[in-house]
Structure 1
């Protein structure tokens, strides 16, 4: 990506903790006159207690303010610890960082409520104080204020980074939720297709006592229940047209359990295999009308080889490969994207894509907490 507006290198930190709730992805990008490059990456696990608290908050019917802000403070301190570790590892100081773009932890995303709203848990003031850095947070609400979904936002970066390489391609992020970015020259769309790792991970934890299905090896051993797959595919979200976005509020273990009430003869093993098929088929359906030449995959689900094999069988005319094939670490695509959006904000450039989110126009995103 070319950028001639800067006379000396700048460093931005991007922090992302997604719907999978596994931990913190952090990326430091270096921006100079000719390119944006990844300078450092780091993953930090959430402490167990914090992970449980965040998972409970995403599904809670209501929040106690004292509890909410205690968890927000703990989360912010965890982000700050990750920044300090990254600076030490990369031999940079806070003074070297132009800004930190911290997405925060989504604990509500209600794009279809009246009024529509989204909540990313983060105390920007505290993070700025703890890191002695300029911090940018609250990226999604400006897009929503302009009539957009507030999500997904990463497609703006996907398009900026890769559209010159491929005039007709797509990026698939397999996090807790799957989202697609698809472009054909200057026509760009992007949306959440439905669940990815979220349901499979929850089922593995509930029934097999493991955090995830490494490599998709467990799912590979079962059979797809076509009746259950048809039941899952009736979820109202899947019938909506883009722009659209969703989250753990819609696709979670409680919802899955309710769908299984009429399918109690399906074994735990076959439920997992069916969930993998559910992920693959919802993505394939979303690609059917556009058929990109290449599909570059990022996110934790890039390691689920079974899902990727099924997807390749369902979209045989598209070349599927990890984003590492185009020089972007698949584990840190989202963190890099929010570092880039922070850079856009600092330089008073839009960070959204209206054709993706449905906003009335391009908007500069985020609230800035100066160092």
Structure 2
């Protein structure tokens, strides 16, 4: 099946789109992909929406701004898709399905007998009607309802990539997004968890100081002094004592520990926290990987990559591109892949990845109510 995946991450920096042809298993053919920046007006609406979501009590009606955010997100996806199709000379009518992650504005992991909460805002029906193509979105809700963590979900696609490339196991895939997560692929199957913040806190610190959206190649972090006591304070959070699998919201950690630090020292300390939490997550799985593959925006942070490479020796640490993977496209590809699996009724989450009791399919399918298509070329 031919599909396009869409991913808007918690860093609120843009949208990733990627074309795949896949059978929903290990057969994968890559098509074009692109990263489109998020307009400031869209980001402002989503930042306000996230603030409302974090203050939203369970059991009460959703915040009214959610409806506005859905409209803004559909418009943003349509504009980005139109540009993507035109730039790559693609005809939307040749596609079978679109897989859209939506914008996470809230994620709460299960606590005891209390199920978690997760919200990925989008309007799949509006997008299907506008494009004339079936849309799969809301990939996480079924897992939450079944008592799972609903994250990470990309491991099923990481496994497909490894099988497609016939890579030697055991293997660890690290996604350095707003939150860092790992997938351990070995002879026993899949194990996954969120390890801690990756780019999220560092990008937030950059914006607070009006120094841009991110630390280019980690140069500023490399110039600062790490405050080990503050790293230890971050690592004392109860999350790090919890068993895997487990998941995080980007906003489970704040900048409060580094409020009094200089700009440079703050970044250095946050980078060290990202590293140490990642290492703790890998240790928690008991994995001794031969190869560690780095994906996500954080792979561009040369300072962080060098730290990870040194800390994980003698394992071979490589960027996704070294394996002929597209490091910036993997999450968008993953939701394209999972859209196909959802249509086929195949599982996208597993006991070792989200803690759900049995392998579980997911994703809500919206079919267009008209054969007309707004974006046909």
Q: Contact 1:190/1:243 (CA < 8 Å) preserved in 2? A: yes
Q: Which residue of 1 aligns with 2:139?
A: 139
**Matches of 1:188 and 1:208 in 2, distance apart?**
41
| Secondary structure at the counterpart of residue 179 of structure 1 | strand
Encode CA deviations 1:86-132: one digit per residue, 9 max, x unaligned: 22233332221110010100001112353422100000111111111
Superposition map of 1:69-88 within 5 A: 69-88=67-86
Q: Which residue of 2 aligns with 1:6?
A: none
Say if 2:268 is the partner of 1:273: yes
**Matches of 1:238 and 1:342 in 2, distance apart?**
32
Q: Which residue of 2 aligns with 1:48?
A: 40
Q: Which residue of 1 aligns with 2:106?
A: 108
Say if 2:156 is the partner of 1:159: no
Structure 2: any 5+ residue segments left out of the alignment? 369-377
Q: Which residue of 1 aligns with 2:199?
A: 197
How high is the TM-score relative to the length of structure 1? 0.91
Cα pair distance change 1:34/1:226, threshold 3 Å: closer
Encode CA deviations 1:14-67: one digit per residue, 9 max, x unaligned: 000111110100001123698312111011111101112212322331487442
Q: Which residue of 2 aligns with 1:256?
A: 255
Q: State the shift of 1:269 in Å.
A: 1.2
Q: Which runs of 4+ in 1 moved over 4 A?
A: none
Q: Which residue of 2 aligns with 1:95?
A: 93
Q: Contact 2:193/2:281 (CA < 8 Å) preserved in 1? A: no
**Matches of 2:139 and 2:320 in 1, distance apart?**
24
Q: Which residue of 1 aligns with 2:373?
A: none
- CA RMSD, Structure 1 to Structure 2 (Å): 1.8
Q: Which residue of 2 aligns with 1:7?
A: none
Say if 2:294 is the partner of 1:303: no
Q: Contact 2:49/2:69 (CA < 8 Å) preserved in 1? A: no
Q: Contact 2:169/2:186 (CA < 8 Å) preserved in 1? A: yes
**Matches of 1:281 and 1:115 in 2, distance apart?**
29
| Secondary structure at the counterpart of residue 96 of structure 2 | strand
Q: Which residue of 1 aligns with 2:313?
A: 316
Q: Contact 2:129/2:367 (CA < 8 Å) preserved in 1? A: no
Q: Which residue of 2 aligns with 1:11?
A: 2
Say if 2:277 is the partner of 1:282: yes
**Matches of 1:270 and 1:29 in 2, distance apart?**
42
Q: Which residue of 2 aligns with 1:22?
A: 13
Q: Which residue of 1 aligns with 2:331?
A: 334
Encode CA deviations 1:202-222: one digit per residue, 9 max, x unaligned: 111112522110100111111
Cα pair distance change 1:46/1:222, threshold 3 Å: same
| Secondary structure at the counterpart of residue 86 of structure 1 | helix
**Matches of 2:187 and 2:134 in 1, distance apart?**
35
How high is the TM-score relative to the length of structure 2? 0.90
| Secondary structure at the counterpart of residue 150 of structure 1 | coil
Q: Which structure carries more relative contact order (alpha carbon 8 Å, separation 6+)?
A: 2
| Secondary structure at the counterpart of residue 212 of structure 2 | coil
Q: Contact 2:115/2:145 (CA < 8 Å) preserved in 1? A: no
Structure 1: any 5+ residue segments left out of the alignment? 1-9
Q: Contact 2:9/2:177 (CA < 8 Å) preserved in 1? A: yes
| Secondary structure at the counterpart of residue 196 of structure 2 | strand
